[in-house]
Amino acid sequence: MLPRKSSDRWERSGAPGCRLQALIPFGSDTPKLASALLLEGRPPCRPWIAADRTEPVPPNASGLAPRFFTLRFFFILPALFAAAAFAQEPSEPPEDSPYEQMQVLAHAMQLIRQDYVDESKVSYKDLSYEAMRGMLSSLDPHSQFMEPKGFKSMQEDTKSEFGGLGVVVSQKKGILTVISPMEDSPGFDAGILPGDQILKINGETTEDLTLQKAVEKLRGEVGGKVTLTICRPATKEIKDYELTRAIIKVSSVKDAHILPSRGGARIGYVRITQFNEPTAAELAKALDKLEKLGMDALVLDLRYNPGGLINSAVDVAGQFLPENTMVVFTRGRTPAREYRTQARNGPQRKYPLAVLVNYASASGSEIVAGALKDLNRALLVGETTFGKGSVQSVIALPDGSAVRLTTAKYFTPGKNLIHEHGVSPHIKASLTDDEEVALLRSRRKQENARKDAPVEMDPQLERAMDVLQGSLAYSKKRG
């Protein structure tokens, strides 16, 4: 114990049960003594400060000083840090120590549990979940922590059947934004469009909602009502949509047809709405059907396709590429990985190919489009794609929750980065707002009509047909 002087101010660090119990005189050796105590970090202890220069304030019945004395400690503590810093020799910045930082985190959690006003909100589970949610959301919009319920929902997404509204959303400049409504879904049938901004869910603002929390609110019991307050940037219109949750059965390959003849060419058309487990097999079946009808060339429509499973996208590209062709590769903290096509039954599909893309073609769509473009297998028509080309690895945690973490970025075979750049078309063709609304309305009509209803033409599709006709004419001329 240090000798006491009447001229000294006293500080006690440590409540009963803490390892450190010491009195610190404020004098020339203060920085060294303070540093020694600070380097001996232990579980949180409540400090207290003497009110005068001669006697320390006695603790109350619980062994702790009155709370109003704690405040002065926080004014003195920075001075101790500053003095200690000046007293030490200049040194290199310390390494990022996991032990020290975990001590800080544990200290903060204990302080919250000890002092936060609402005790029901400070269970270790709640605090650790929120800490992980905050850590991941601070990295990028696609990294996230998933509670067990959210992890289970994510797994259901890839099985082609789940309950919800069928609206694919993302955070765009901090705003919850619709990437694309899934066809055959309540959101699609209600007329929600890509680019619509969701301002409220059931009257609750989405401004401070994480992406995962927003998705959880959109999903729920089948038959339940959900009201979305939507802002449409093109018209500045704000409107409420009342939707009913339903089982979403995703048929990812649609509208396989021979388009109306132009100059005798038989141009096929097929549309992929997203990439899930059966997509490649469904596409192969559709292409076999069109080939039996004498198809000379194909339009592959990836507009409004938000992506899906990477292996499914690679297998779709493999329908048009030789075996063992690299479709995409990744670069990140882990070693680079290449995704290559697999062997498939039947002859190689060598007919001319045009791929339709637009601003809502994302992720898997961009992988397919980028590969077919770089490998000179297809001509891209439309608009530059969304630019979502990062790899999210999902790692399950012991309690059934999971971490969805961005671990790499995708590059096309030509070493072009997809993320935040997108894939640009060979031939630019855009739709006006009215033409886009008409296109999506025509798709809704097709869903309600018979299965073999013909595809309605639009300016981008017509441009793709022109390109293919020119390609067929050139090939015929060459002999």
Q: Provide DSSP, 259-326.
A: PPPBTTB-EEEEEE--B-TTHHHHHHHHHHHHHHTT--EEEEE-TT---B-HHHHHHHHTTSS-TT-E
**Dist. CA 304–CA 59, nearest whole Å:** 67
CA distances from 319 to 304, 323, 347, 381 (A): 21, 9, 10, 19
- 106 and 208 together in one domain: no
In a domain, residue 140? The reply is no
Cα distance from N-terminal residue to C-terminal residue, the chain: 101
pLDDT for the residue numbered 334? 82
Q: At what angle do helices 310-317 and 279-292 cross, to 10 degrees?
A: 20
The count of domains in the chain is: 3
In a domain, residue 383? The reply is yes
- 257 and 368 together in one domain: yes
List per-residue pLDDT tens for the chain, 479 residues long.
Answer: 444 433 333 333 333 333 333 333 334 343 333 333 333 343 444 333 333 333 344 444 444 444 433 333 344 444 434 444 444 444 555 678 888 899 999 999 999 999 999 999 999 999 999 999 999 989 988 899 999 987 887 776 655 556 789 888 888 888 999 988 887 789 988 989 988 999 999 999 998 888 878 888 898 888 889 999 999 998 899 999 999 999 877 789 999 999 997 778 899 999 999 999 899 999 999 999 999 999 999 999 999 999 989 999 999 999 999 999 999 999 998 889 999 999 888 888 999 999 999 999 999 999 999 999 999 999 999 999 999 999 888 899 999 999 999 999 999 999 999 999 999 999 999 999 889 988 988 887 776 655 556 678 999 999 999 999 999 988 888 76
- 221 and 326 together in one domain: no
Residues in the chain: 479
**Dist. CA 214–CA 184, nearest whole Å:** 21
In a domain, residue 61? The reply is yes
- 231 and 339 together in one domain: no
Instruction: Provide φ and ψ at 140, rounded to 5°.
Output: -165, 170
* Neighbouring residues of 384: CB distance < 8 A, sequence distance ≥ 6: 357, 359, 422, 423, 424, 425
pLDDT for the residue numbered 333? 86
Which of 249, 269, 287 is the last residue before a domain boundary?
249
Q: Which of 131, 205, 206 is nearest to 169 (CA)?
A: 206
Domain assignment of residue 452, given as a range: 253-478
- 342 and 443 together in one domain: yes
In a domain, residue 132? The reply is no
- 436 and 394 together in one domain: yes
402-411 and 326-332: which strand pairing? Answer: antiparallel
Report DSSP state, residue 57. P
Which of 211, 226, 249 is the last residue before a domain boundary?
249
Which of 206, 224, 249 is the last residue before a domain boundary?
249
In a domain, residue 274? The reply is yes
Report DSSP state, residue 179. E
The distance from CA 259 to its chain's CA centroid, rounded to whole angstroms, is 37
Angle at 388 between CA 374 and CA 136, to 5 degrees: 140
- 229 and 333 together in one domain: no
In a domain, residue 148? The reply is no
pLDDT for the residue numbered 428? 97
Report DSSP state, residue 400. S
Annotated catalytic residues are 363, 374, 388
- 222 and 264 together in one domain: no
**Dist. CA 466–CA 77, nearest whole Å:** 75
**Dist. CA 105–CA 397, nearest whole Å:** 20
CATH number at residue 271: 3.90.226.10
- 277 and 225 together in one domain: no
CB 295 within 8 A of CB 266: yes
In a domain, residue 129? The reply is no
Reading the block at residue 106, the tokens are 């544990």
CA distances from 392 to 113, 193, 330, 409, 416 (A): 33, 26, 11, 9, 19
Query: Across-strand partners of 48?
Result: 12
Q: Which of 275, 271, 359 is nearest to 310 (CA)?
A: 275
- 171 and 107 together in one domain: no
- 217 and 265 together in one domain: no
CA distances from 215 to 218, 227, 305 (A): 5, 14, 18
Report DSSP state, residue 38. H
Calculate Rg over the CA atoms of the chain: 31
- 242 and 257 together in one domain: no
CATH number at residue 189: 2.30.42.10
CB 436 within 8 A of CB 461: no
Query: 214 by DSSP, 3-state: which?
Result: helix
Q: Which of 181, 194, 186, 255 is nearest to 446 (CA)?
A: 255
In a domain, residue 339? The reply is yes
